[in-house]
Amino acid sequence: MPLEPALLPIADVPFEWTYVRSIIEVSLYVSLVAVALSTLFSLPVALLVGFKEFPGKGVLTSLINTGMGFPSVVVGLLVLFAVSNQGPLGELNLVFTREAMIMSQFVLATPVITGVSLAAVDAVEENVRDAAFAMGGTRFDVALVTIKEARYGIATAVLAGFGRAISEVGSVLIVGGNIVGPEGHSKTRTLTTAIQLEARQGRFETALLLGAVLVALVLLVNAIVLRYGNGNDGGRYR
């Protein structure tokens, strides 16, 4: 694909480094914050549900698992209704902002992180928890022991949630608006919405290039998390 700035005034823009860097930053910022908040919410829920036996636990678990497949466009629409100036959160002026994108990705990532963590917590043997209790641990200590035992499962949960968040395009497009500010600085354009824009304009090469960047990014985050998980094997809570 020849790039002659004089002849192709738009085609050369996506290759500008500030542009690419800023959409990578927005992608990472939105997805990492969403996943961090989601983890803070999901982990206690997973521990609570995992520890307790109560009627309707099965139903709740299947509800959470169903949430993993919730269509992102629908989530985007619901968040848009909430943050729109006509909606309940209209006063906050969140429409077409990164905060709104974080909200929708939070909604998307939470069932994934909760569901997979729950499975991991459930898989921790009962006697491990009993032993922790027997050693005089409080409920909180037991929770920490369980987290430690289930850490690979939880890391997988967080990574799955991150994968769901950073790769989805439907909701961030609706609530974010795919906006780029002056001088090619992304405001709410992520890698996925940028790919969609390139594809819309028939520039499949640049779309694929951005796709490769996205895959590389996900790979990098996976590598960091798994490496951190292994490095932690010395036992912080041991």
Chain positions 77 to 136 lying near other proteins, rule: CB under 8 A, are 84-86, 90, 93, 95-96, 98-99
Range list of β-strands (E), 89-192: none
Residue 144 CA to residue 206 CA, distance in Å, equals: 46
Q: Report residue 217 as tokens.
A: 């990014």
Site size for other proteins, by CB under 8 A? Answer: 37
The residue among 30 and 68 lying less far from other proteins, judged by its C-beta, is 30
Contacts of 98 (CB under 8 A, 6+ apart): 26, 29, 30, 176, 187, 188
DSSP code, position 186? B
Q: Does 140 bind other proteins (CB under 8 A)?
A: yes
Comparing CB distances to other proteins, the nearer of 13 and 63 is: 13
Residue found under tokens 């200590």: 141
* Helix orientation angle between 151-167 and 139-149, rounded to the nearest 10 degrees: 70
Instruction: Specify the residue, 60 or 99, whose C-beta has the smaller distance to other proteins.
Output: 99
Structure tokens at 89: 């959160």
The mark string for 141-170 relative to other proteins (x by CB under 8 A, - otherwise) is x--x--------------------------
Site for other proteins in 168-187 (CB under 8 A): 177-179, 181-182, 187
The structure tokens listed for 8 are 């192709």
User: What span, in angstroms and rounded, lies between the C-alpha atoms of 32 and 222?
Assistant: 12
Q: Which of residues 12-51 bind other proteins (CB under 8 A)?
A: 13, 29, 33, 36-37, 40
- Smallest distance, other proteins to C-beta of residue 58, A: 30
Among 8, 123, 208, 215, binds other proteins (CB under 8 A): 8
Question: Which one-letter DSSP state was computed for residue 201?
Answer: T
Residue 5 binds other proteins, judged by CB under 8 A: no
CA angle 28, 33, 34 (to 5 degrees): 100
Binding mask 187-216 for other proteins (x = CB under 8 A): x---------x-xxxxx-------------
- Closest distance to other proteins from the beta carbon of 32 (Å): 9
Question: Toward other proteins, which CB reaches closer, 52 or 236?
Answer: 236
Tell me the three state secondary structure of residue 180: strand
Q: Taking Cα atoms as reference points, which of 121, 120, 106 lies closest to residue 40?
A: 106
Give the C-alpha separation, 230 to 233, whole Å.
Answer: 5
Residue ranges that bind other proteins, judged by CB under 8 A: 7-10, 13, 29, 33, 36-37, 40, 84-86, 90, 93, 95-96, 98-99, 137, 140-141, 144, 177-179, 181-182, 187, 197, 199-203, 236-237
